Chains A and B, each alone.
Chain A
């Protein structure tokens, strides 16, 4: 019994789920509140934050249901949600949990200190660090502090791949702390742990649970512009808690928040190898019908001559094949492939590019994040298409020059009409590089 009550700590469950756990509905420890409420004729789901006029969601028995979180079990106006308040029933650690402190550069150390301060003061902060700056390492100090103080900690991200990458690293760094990895169909049953790594959607099951909530890749789909997920995040953390947002490419909303000084920010414009981000080269095309013009062909020819791998981004899946055919028509001896989200052997193809058995990949925006290949060059065709937003373009540019030995490379964006996203992406990289040069200058002065 004690165990099942532990499972409910900081969670929110509906009555059928509670019955499945074998807990009586009138248990004294349980906090209870209505699952779906009607406010001025509008339906409001207290679990996922869905809001809409109620008329479309009526059931014949005159109750209303939330259509947005059906997959987690249907909630109606007649049902309640139950929870047990988070008691932070964790082991007390006497010594430092960080066994091996990561080696940080001077600027990383400064950023890590700011994050630690934020956690101590229970505030919110955005860590804006360029692609390849070592964001996770900077977090460890803050996580260590929270865990030592018996706080419950969650790392959430919109992408499953990122979860799977983060979890083993955290286990390695904090071997003594009980941790769990949650995502849909993970096959793991929920256990009560101090450290939780999960997808943002899993936060739907939590209620006022976390003292420290870290959200990685805040600008990634589906977290951006999703009010429900924002509600979910706000609902999952305690009222008096700290939140850290991590990103390489803040979107317009986040930038606005920074500008209005609603969100504190730590900016780290330098990569860990202390080189600037590669600048974007814009190439305007004049003949819309011709797919690969001479103006961009010469870049491709250069890359092929130098035997460096490259990615060609296109806006639609339908364009993958024709572009690949054309490239093969120009250079029949050079091997290449095309990749999309629908491709089952996508990982294998990326591996081929890394080992050098393929020279290039034609791809959609799925390879925008999380791919690191040495000496990579990048070209974006039809960069004025709406899928290439500012954050996507900056992420794509961030694929280049991640290696310590080859910190430079080309980022070619081919377009026909200038868009605000193109302009903003170029501007963002310029701004970050400007800040980075300033940092480097100060650094030299201080070391002198």
Chain B
């Protein structure tokens, strides 16, 4: 008997003849339909093309315009769900801060499907890393947890001295003013390879833009990004 990871309700199995004759493995879902509906999904049509923020129409938001004014090429970030909403906040609280590693299963499927699309086109997947101290206390990397079956490249690592204060404890101004938090440990020349960055939450975008800067310095091609929430 499977239980919903969030509300503990018993999950119903839908065994159908169509599934039986499809000769596929039975796919179990980690949460119930009700809990799934509580998260606010973002449709492509109603989001900012630059950062994926939920809007009423598809045009660049204020933040992305500012990034463009800084002479940066946009990341064209893909986002799945809204972050500033109690259910998603509660999810990240339980997953990252309480450390319930099982909860990675809830969104792993959607993120992996998206990454696979890029892998097929020959892109590399690069994960935004967690600093060592957090990794030691938490016991896992929350982004790596989302992508168990994807070949990930760990080109980036956290420079130690910035590991003290986590991003989530900073204000917006502080975040934007943070110097480069990452070091580079990949091959010296990326040979114009295209790269998809993966992170859990997009807040100001500064983390992802810092990572992109570093990758561009090592001669990569196009850089795009995907985050679970915005």
Residues on A lying within 8 angstroms of B by beta carbon are 16, 56-61, 63, 65, 67, 70-71, 74, 76
In the complex the two chains form, what is the Cα distance from A46 to B137 in whole Å? 20
B140 within 8 A of A: yes
In the complex the two chains form, what is the Cα distance from A56 to B30 in whole Å? 12
A74: contacting residue among B98, B144, B145, CB under 8 A: B98
Q: Which residues of B contact A61 (CB under 8 A)?
A: 139-140
Q: Which residues of B contact A71 (CB under 8 A)?
A: 98
* B98 touching A70, Cβ below 8 Å: yes
B94 within 8 A of A: yes
In the complex the two chains form, what is the Cα distance from A16 to B100 in whole Å? 17
B101 within 8 A of A: yes
Nearest neighbor of B136 in chain A, beta-carbon distance: A61
* B139 touching A76, Cβ below 8 Å: yes
B99: contacting residue among A56, A58, A70, CB under 8 A: A70
Q: Which residues of A contact B101 (CB under 8 A)?
A: 57-60, 65
* B139 touching A67, Cβ below 8 Å: no
* B102 touching A70, Cβ below 8 Å: no
A-B interface contact total, Cβ < 8 Å: 32
* A59 touching B140, Cβ below 8 Å: yes
* B102 touching A63, Cβ below 8 Å: no
Given A61-B140, A65-B101, A65-B139, 13 additional A-B pairs, CB 8 A? A16-B137, A57-B101, A59-B140, A60-B101, A60-B140, A60-B145, A65-B100, A70-B98, A70-B99, A71-B98, A74-B99, A74-B100, A76-B139
In the complex the two chains form, what is the Cα distance from A76 to B138 in whole Å? 11
A70: contacting residue among B100, B141, B144, CB under 8 A: B100
Q: Which residues of A contact B99 (CB under 8 A)?
A: 65, 70, 74
* A59 touching B139, Cβ below 8 Å: yes
* A70 touching B94, Cβ below 8 Å: yes
* B94 touching A63, Cβ below 8 Å: no
A57: contacting residue among B102, B140, B144, B145, CB under 8 A: B102
The 9 closest A-B pairs by CB, nearest first: A59-B139, A74-B99, A70-B98, A60-B140, A70-B100, A59-B101, A61-B139, A59-B140, A67-B100
Nearest neighbor of A78 in chain B, beta-carbon distance: B139
Q: Which residues of A contact B102 (CB under 8 A)?
A: 56-57, 67
Q: Which residues of A contact B145 (CB under 8 A)?
A: 60
- A317 CB, nearest partner CB in chain B, Å: 15
> Chain B CB within 10 Å — which of A56, A59, A63 has the most?
A59
Nearest neighbor of B140 in chain A, beta-carbon distance: A60
In the complex the two chains form, what is the Cα distance from A388 to B100 in whole Å? 35
Nearest neighbor of A56 in chain B, beta-carbon distance: B102
- B208 CB, nearest partner CB in chain A, Å: 24
Within 8 A of A (CB), among B79-130: 94, 98-102
Per-residue interface assignment for chain B, residues 167 to 180, with 1 indicating a CB less than 8 Å from any chain A CB and 0 otherwise = 00000000000000
- B30 CB, nearest partner CB in chain A, Å: 11
- B172 CB, nearest partner CB in chain A, Å: 29
Per-residue interface assignment for chain B, residues 7 to 18, with 1 indicating a CB less than 8 Å from any chain A CB and 0 otherwise = 000000000000
Q: Which residues of B contact A60 (CB under 8 A)?
A: 101, 139-141, 144-145
In the complex the two chains form, what is the Cα distance from A76 to B139 in whole Å? 10
Q: 24 A-B pairs, CB-CB below 8 angstroms?
A: A16-B137, A56-B102, A57-B101, A57-B102, A58-B101, A59-B101, A59-B139, A59-B140, A60-B139, A60-B140, A60-B144, A61-B140, A63-B139, A65-B99, A65-B100, A65-B101, A65-B139, A67-B100, A67-B102, A70-B94, A70-B99, A74-B98, A74-B100, A76-B139
Q: Which residues of A contact B98 (CB under 8 A)?
A: 70-71, 74
> Chain B CB within 10 Å — which of A16, A60, A63, A76 has the most?
A60
Q: Which residues of B contact A70 (CB under 8 A)?
A: 94, 98-100
In the complex the two chains form, what is the Cα distance from A58 to B100 in whole Å? 10
Q: Which residues of B contact A56 (CB under 8 A)?
A: 102
Nearest neighbor of A57 in chain B, beta-carbon distance: B102
Q: Which residues of A contact B144 (CB under 8 A)?
A: 60
In the complex the two chains form, what is the Cα distance from A74 to B141 in whole Å? 16
Q: Which residues of A contact B139 (CB under 8 A)?
A: 59-61, 63, 65, 76
Q: Which residues of A contact B140 (CB under 8 A)?
A: 59-61
Q: Which residues of A contact B141 (CB under 8 A)?
A: 60
In the complex the two chains form, what is the Cα distance from A328 to B23 in whole Å? 57
Nearest neighbor of A71 in chain B, beta-carbon distance: B98
In the complex the two chains form, what is the Cα distance from A58 to B101 in whole Å? 8
> Chain A CB within 10 Å — which of B94, B102, B137 has the most?
B102
In the complex the two chains form, what is the Cα distance from A59 to B99 in whole Å? 10
In the complex the two chains form, what is the Cα distance from A71 to B94 in whole Å? 9
- B176 CB, nearest partner CB in chain A, Å: 32
- A415 CB, nearest partner CB in chain B, Å: 26
Per-residue interface assignment for chain B, residues 137 to 153, with 1 indicating a CB less than 8 Å from any chain A CB and 0 otherwise = 10111001100000000
Q: Which residues of A contact B100 (CB under 8 A)?
A: 65, 67, 70, 74
- B136 CB, nearest partner CB in chain A, Å: 9
In the complex the two chains form, what is the Cα distance from A310 to B186 in whole Å? 75
Per-residue interface assignment for chain B, residues 29 to 54, with 1 indicating a CB less than 8 Å from any chain A CB and 0 otherwise = 00000000000000000000000000
Per-residue interface assignment for chain B, residues 203 to 229, with 1 indicating a CB less than 8 Å from any chain A CB and 0 otherwise = 000000000000000000000000000
In the complex the two chains form, what is the Cα distance from A71 to B98 in whole Å? 7
In the complex the two chains form, what is the Cα distance from A67 to B99 in whole Å? 9
In the complex the two chains form, what is the Cα distance from A63 to B140 in whole Å? 11
Nearest neighbor of B105 in chain A, beta-carbon distance: A56
Q: Which residues of B contact A74 (CB under 8 A)?
A: 98-100
Nearest neighbor of B100 in chain A, beta-carbon distance: A70
In the complex the two chains form, what is the Cα distance from A71 to B101 in whole Å? 14
Q: Which residues of B contact A65 (CB under 8 A)?
A: 99-101, 139
Nearest neighbor of B148 in chain A, beta-carbon distance: A60
In the complex the two chains form, what is the Cα distance from A71 to B141 in whole Å? 20
- B186 CB, nearest partner CB in chain A, Å: 21
In the complex the two chains form, what is the Cα distance from A65 to B139 in whole Å? 10
Q: Which residues of B contact A16 (CB under 8 A)?
A: 137
In the complex the two chains form, what is the Cα distance from A65 to B137 in whole Å? 13
Nearest neighbor of A58 in chain B, beta-carbon distance: B101
- A54 CB, nearest partner CB in chain B, Å: 12
